[in-house]
């Protein structure tokens, strides 16, 4: 079907055209037996606070009906690109894409882990 109209591009193998200097303070390790240290991404912080009641402030820039919306409820799950909240008062569940999430407020202390040590703020 493709014929000769489009050919897949080919790339030279293992050629780096850039110089990377990670320095001594990098969180990345090059040993094959150790894993890189986890960074404090939003989904990790949300996972550490699973079960807590939150308000998620979300913006949908292309929507005229739902420009800005607040979702209230309990954090059920959090992934790399999504947040699942359940509202115990209404029984509704929300799947929120993190690209639309502005910020989250908590009514209690936030569990936060940096460099695998548990801290509360």
What is the residue-averaged pLDDT of the chain? Answer: 77
Confidence (pTM)? 0.62
First to last CA, the chain: 59
* 51-86 confidence digits (pLDDT tens): 999 999 999 998 888 899 999 999 999 999 999 999
pLDDT at 118 over 80: no
Q: C-alpha angle with apex 114: 109 to 117, nearest 5 degrees?
A: 85
Checking 87-94 for CB contacts under 8 A at 24+ apart, the result is 94/56
The distance between the two most distant Cα atoms of the chain, rounded to a whole number of Å, is: 62
State which CATH number among 2.60.40.1120, 2.30.30.100, 2.40.50.140, 3.30.1330.20 fits the domain covering 42-109: 2.30.30.100
pLDDT digit string (tens) for 3-15?
A: 555 555 555 555 5
User: Length of the chain in residues, anyone?
Assistant: 121
Query: Given this model, what pLDDT does residue 31 score?
Result: 39
Residue with the larger pLDDT of the pair 24 and 72: 72
């Amino acid at each position: 079907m493709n014929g000769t109209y489009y050919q897949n591009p080919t790339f030279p193998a293992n050629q780096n055209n850039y110089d990377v200097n990670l320095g001594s303070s990098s969180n990345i390790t090059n040993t094959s037996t150790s894993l890189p240290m986890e960074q404090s991404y939003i989904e990790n912080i949300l996972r550490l606070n699973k079960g807590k009641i939150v308000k998620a402030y979300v913006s949908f820039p292309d929507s005229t009906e739902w420009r800005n919306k607040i979702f209230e409820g309990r954090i059920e799950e959090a992934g790399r690109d999504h947040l699942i909240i359940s509202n115990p008062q209404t029984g509704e569940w929300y799947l929120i894409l993190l690209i639309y999430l502005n910020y989250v407020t908590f009514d209690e202390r936030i569990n936060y882990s940096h460099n695998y040590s548990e801290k509360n703020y």
